[in-house]
Amino acid sequence: CVRCAIRFLCLHNVQLFNLSEDELVAFFHSLPETSALRLEPYPREVAPCTLCLGILQDSRERKEPMYRAQLEKSLKDCKHHYKNFQFCLSLPFASIVREMVLIKQLEHDLKSSIDQ
């Protein structure tokens, strides 16, 4: 998916992930290092990204209302005294394993192409 491609460019600006997929594709193609590569959006309806398991695949406009509604409902139902909270996420372990496998494969492929 587009966001995983951006992730593996080692760009650590979290605000990039708030961009739409079309904006991310335009950003990707504007980088000098990626001029020879072609990147196109891959909709989740076709299949979830095999690397992030579809977690990063949907746009913010699509995800945020769904999660916001779920959070608001849960907060109202729990009857806690405090209304402020901190929201923390953790990735499924499978996505971390897949990421490490991909990194090792890229290292191997790049080393092989450099050695030739």
Kindly report, residue by residue over 32-41, the tens digit of the pLDDT: 877 677 787 7
- CA–CA gap between residue 13 and residue 35 (Å, rounded): 20
Q: Give the C-alpha separation, 96 to 94, whole Å.
A: 5
Q: Convert the pLDDT of each residue in 61-116 to its tens digit.
A: 666 676 777 777 887 888 777 767 676 767 677 777 888 888 888 787 777 665 55
The rounded distance, in Å, linking the Cα atoms of 16 and 11 is 9
Q: What is the pTM of this model?
A: 0.56
Calculate mean pLDDT across residues 42-51: 74
Residue 102 CA to residue 71 CA, distance in Å, equals 33
